[in-house]
Structure 1
Amino acid sequence: MKMRRLGQDGPQVSALGLGCMGMSDFYTTGADERESIATLHRALELGVTLLDTADMYGPYTNEELLGRSLKGKRAQVFLASKFGIVRSEDPHKRGVNGHPDYIRTAIDGSLQRLSTDYLDLYYQHRIDPDVPIEETIGALADLVRAGKIKHIGLSEASAATIERAQAVHPITAVQSEYSLWTRDPEQNGVLEVCRRLGIGFVAYSPLGRGFLTGAIRRPNDFAEDDYRRFSPRFQGDNFQKNLELVDKVKQIADSKGVAPSQLALAWVLAQGEEIVPIPGTKQRHYLEKNLDALEITLTTEELPVIESIFPYGIAAGQRYNEDSMRHLNH
């Protein structure tokens, strides 16, 4: 397994991690717990070390799944979880909480569900605009001193917030959506500040929530309860416009003799050694297919052609609905 370092002086992890959310939430149609556990175990066999979850996935059930799956295997894993998104009865609405008291309660719940006494990396899932980041990071620093977490991370934070957080305690990783169809971190200063401060960058949804695989051809390909049915990029005219872009990428992948998903992952990997993508899957054969992307090299001629198809802002539709969009880039 190829390895990458999270940040200038941070820990080494597998160059591709595994996002575990879909095993328990949002894309769960066809989910099979036995296959999910087999996928987790296969990932460890193949050298994947970074596993990514959050307390809000389920909620709670994804952490519980990992807790059951990792018994006797904890030492093989760089285990990351997140706190701060508070779910309501309305599945399309979310709250955020960055209060120190909440953090102290949240970590204990995550540790219990994950059947471990520490997390390797603990992210603030979304920034709480009502709580100064200095207070939130101060509480997380207390958890580091207590031995409950080893490293602190932020997710979907603005460049300015990352700077303020780093001044309180070293930040090991920043997680944001990043892929061919979501290139925001290149434009909003997040990748620049991570590079300047020596912070690792973890790219979630590097396959555009499955769209960049080329396998999704119609909105009806989604089950009735699939989150993507309610995502702007998968609705109406946006779907067709984005599909046309994906088909152009597929042509390049076909000419190179690789899958579109592998080409999309190879592109993210080529953007910098500080970037670690965490594609999600709940099936072993997709896991193995994704890991093969580590062997693909994109040439200096191929990269600009791919990037010209998906320049910043070309994807039709917002990343999330309006309620979720307001929690980004604080």
Structure 2
Amino acid sequence: MSIRATTSLGGTASNVTVGKVAHGLMMMTWAPEPVPDEQCFEAIKAGVDALPPGTKMFLNGGEFYAHDLTTTNLEMIARFFEKYPDYVDKTFLSIKGGVKPGTLVPDGSPANLRRSVELINEKLRGTKRLDLFQSARVDPNIPLEESIRALVELKNEGKLDHIGMSECSADTLRRGNAVHSIAAVEIEVSPWEYGEEARKVIATAEELGVAVIAYSPLGHGFLTGQIKRLEDIPEGDFRRSMPRFQEDNFKHNFAIVDALTAIARSKNITSAQLSIAWVASLGKHVIPLPGSSHAKRTRENCAGGDVELSTEDITEINSVIGAGAARGGRYTHEAYLWG
């Protein structure tokens, strides 16, 4: 399989060409049972191998992507690059950090950002540069400008190459970019998560020349149609607590999936590819970030970036989204969203 669709990142990374579809690595290590290394490695390689020469795969990991919020994800990534050093230059590695150790509470203080970046580099063991660092959330207790300046200092010391932001508003993106050029901003975007805040961030990012990394384009797997009831989600999986997966919202939300699946069938593609293609259609600078722990699924997701939707297709999808807006919040605790 060969993928054609590519794009470029933004800001200081605007010279970096990446596949139009990125690859999220979170659930490789945040699943109830971590996925075996070789399965993870094959899933990563599958996406990279499908790209045109000279194009990098945007990989997204996290300092705390594990059930116990430890560095399991980083250690898996380091083992991948140790085993497959030929893939180092074929990938662009983005890592989220910047939380208080052992928690998901944002801490954008210069001291904690230094701790986070240095820990990430320690766990990567020199196998791969930290291409892009993002604070996972915007800390409401520290001036954003102070946090960005701290990252600029770390960049100048050679400890990271580019600065990103995550779960920010259009206003905070503009403020961060005023201190230092932001290469990419990560927000949740999918056919059931495309509200006013997301639209504002996407528009502002286009104006500023910033790439948008659109995570969960498949609605945490719901939009694939594979999850037909709550019991289809394994025990211990964090999605079991998400409001949109609860019984009182499930039936309504699955009607959206059914409608999108029907459109996908008419185009002879999967519902996952339809969702990815729709997110990709929101702008040249918008890069869908689905997660995958299976090589076959990675290839399917990447092929979604090559799907061309007509104006009529997009109108039909938008009518489904507009008529059946998803019920339930994104997370049980939403305190730090759109920081």
Shorter-chain TM-score bucket reads over 0.9
Q: Is residue 185–residue 212 contact of structure 2 (8 Å, CA) maintained in 1?
A: yes
User: Using a 3 Å threshold, how does the CA distance of structure 1 residues 45 and 185 change in structure 2: closer, same or farther?
Assistant: farther
Aligned to 2:65, which of 54, 57, 60? 57
Q: Is 1:198 aligned to residue 209 of structure 2? A: yes
Secondary structure at 1:248 match in 2? helix
The Cα offsets for residues 150-206 of structure 1, whole Å up to 9 and x where unpaired, read as: 110000011111111111111111100001010036656211211111111000001
What does 1:1-330 align with in structure 2 at a 5 Å threshold? 1=3, 2-7=5-10, 10=14, 11-25=16-30, 27-29=31-33, 31-47=35-51, 49-58=57-66, 59-71=70-82, 72=85, 73-86=87-100, 88=102, 94-116=104-126, 118-184=129-195, 189-311=200-322, 314-322=325-333, 325-330=334-339
Q: Is residue 134–residue 163 contact of structure 2 (8 Å, CA) maintained in 1?
A: yes
Secondary structure at 2:133 match in 1? strand
Secondary structure at 2:168 match in 1? coil
Output the CA distance in 1 between the equivalents of 2:23 and 2:142.
31
User: Using a 3 Å threshold, how does the CA distance of structure 1 residues 185 and 57 change in structure 2: closer, same or farther?
Assistant: farther
Secondary structure at 1:273 match in 2? coil
Q: Is residue 163–residue 193 contact of structure 1 (8 Å, CA) maintained in 2?
A: yes
Deviates more, 1:274-283 or 1:112-121: 112-121
Output the CA distance in 2 between the equivalents of 1:128 and 1:321.
19
4+ residue segments displaced more than 6 Å = none
Q: Is residue 78–residue 125 contact of structure 2 (8 Å, CA) maintained in 1?
A: yes
The Cα offsets for residues 287-315 of structure 1, whole Å up to 9 and x where unpaired, read as: 11112212311111110110111139811
Structure 2 gap ranges (5+): none
User: Using a 3 Å threshold, how does the CA distance of structure 1 residues 158 and 312 change in structure 2: closer, same or farther?
Assistant: farther
The Cα offsets for residues 93-142 of structure 1, whole Å up to 9 and x where unpaired, read as: 73111000111111111012123363111111100000000110001111
Shift of 1:12: 1.9
User: Using a 3 Å threshold, how does the CA distance of structure 1 residues 28 and 37 change in structure 2: closer, same or farther?
Assistant: farther
Q: Is residue 11–residue 184 contact of structure 2 (8 Å, CA) maintained in 1?
A: no
TM-score (norm: length of structure 1)? 0.93
Output the CA distance in 1 between the equivalents of 2:265 and 2:43.
27
User: Using a 3 Å threshold, how does the CA distance of structure 1 residues 185 and 36 change in structure 2: closer, same or farther?
Assistant: farther
Output the CA distance in 2 between the equivalents of 1:306 and 1:31.
34
The Cα offsets for residues 244-284 of structure 1, whole Å up to 9 and x where unpaired, read as: 11101011111111110011111111111001111101011
User: Using a 3 Å threshold, how does the CA distance of structure 1 residues 312 and 142 change in structure 2: closer, same or farther?
Assistant: farther
Shift of 1:242: 0.4
Output the CA distance in 2 between the equivalents of 1:12 and 1:312.
37
Output the CA distance in 2 between the equivalents of 1:141 and 1:6.
18
Q: Percent same amino acid at aligned positions?
A: 34
Amino acid at match of 1:104: R
Secondary structure at 2:100 match in 1? strand
Output the CA distance in 2 between the equivalents of 1:207 and 1:215.
11
The Cα offsets for residues 194-230 of structure 1, whole Å up to 9 and x where unpaired, read as: 1111111000001110011011101100111111110
Output the CA distance in 1 between the equivalents of 2:268 and 2:307.
10
Output the CA distance in 2 between the equivalents of 1:181 and 1:120.
30
Q: Alignment RMSD, CA only? A: 1.8
